[in-house]
Structure 1
Amino acid sequence: MERIVIVNHQPGWRAAFESLGGRLRAALGRKALRIDHIGSTSVPGLAAKDVLDIQVTVAGLEPSIEDAVTRAGYQRVLRIDCDHRPPGGVDDPAEWTKWFFRNSPELRRVNLHVRIAGRANQRYPLLFRDYLRAHRDAAEAYAQVKRALAERHASDADAYYDVKDPVCDIIMVGADAWAERTGWAPPASDC
Structure 2
Amino acid sequence: MPIEIHPPRQSWLDDFADLKQAILRAAPAGATIHHIGSTAVPGLAAKDIIDIQVSVDTLDLVDETAFEREGFKSRSIVADHCPPGLDLAENELRKRYFKSTGRPANIHVREKGRFNQRYALLCRDFLRAHATAAAAYGLIKQRLAGFFPDNADAYYDIKDPVFDIIMDGAYDWARLTGWMEPPGD
- Give the structure-2-normalised TM-score: 0.96
Alignment gaps of 5+ in structure 2: none
| Aligned-residue RMSD, C-alpha | 1.2
Aligned residue number for residue 89 of structure 2: 92
Bigger Cα displacement from structure 2, 160-169 vs 23-32: 23-32
Query: Closer, same or farther in 2 for the Cα pair 1:140/1:54, shift >3 Å?
Result: same
Deviation at 1:22, TM superposition (A): 1.8
- Within 1, Cα distance between the matches of 2:28 and 2:89? 29
Aligned residue number for residue 101 of structure 1: 98
Identity of aligned residues (%): 48
- Within 2, Cα distance between the matches of 1:19 and 1:73? 12
Aligned residue number for residue 120 of structure 1: 115
- Within 1, Cα distance between the matches of 2:128 and 2:153? 27
Deviation at 1:67, TM superposition (A): 2.6
- Within 1, Cα distance between the matches of 2:98 and 2:64? 9
- Which residue, 119, 132, 153 being the options, matches 1:158? 153
Helix, strand or coil for the counterpart of 1:113?
strand
Aligned residue number for residue 130 of structure 1: 125
Deviation at 1:68, TM superposition (A): 2.1
- Within 2, Cα distance between the matches of 1:51 and 1:116? 22
Helix, strand or coil for the counterpart of 1:83?
coil
Aligned residue number for residue 36 of structure 1: 34
Say how many residue pairs are matched.
185
Ranges of 4+ aligned residues in structure 1 off by more than 6 Å: none
Alignment gaps of 5+ in structure 1: none
Aligned residue number for residue 162 of structure 2: 167
Q: Counterpart of 2:125 in structure 1: which amino acid?
A: D
Q: Deviations for 1:107-142, whole angstroms, at most 9, x for unmatched residues?
A: 210111010000000000100000000000000000
Deviation at 1:64, TM superposition (A): 4.4
Q: Tell me if 1:148 matches 2:143.
A: yes
Alpha-carbon contact 1:31-1:65 (below 8 Å) kept: no
Q: Counterpart of 2:148 in structure 1: which amino acid?
A: H
Helix, strand or coil for the counterpart of 1:150?
helix
Q: Deviations for 1:135-184, whole angstroms, at most 9, x for unmatched residues?
A: 00000000010000000001000000000000000000000000011000
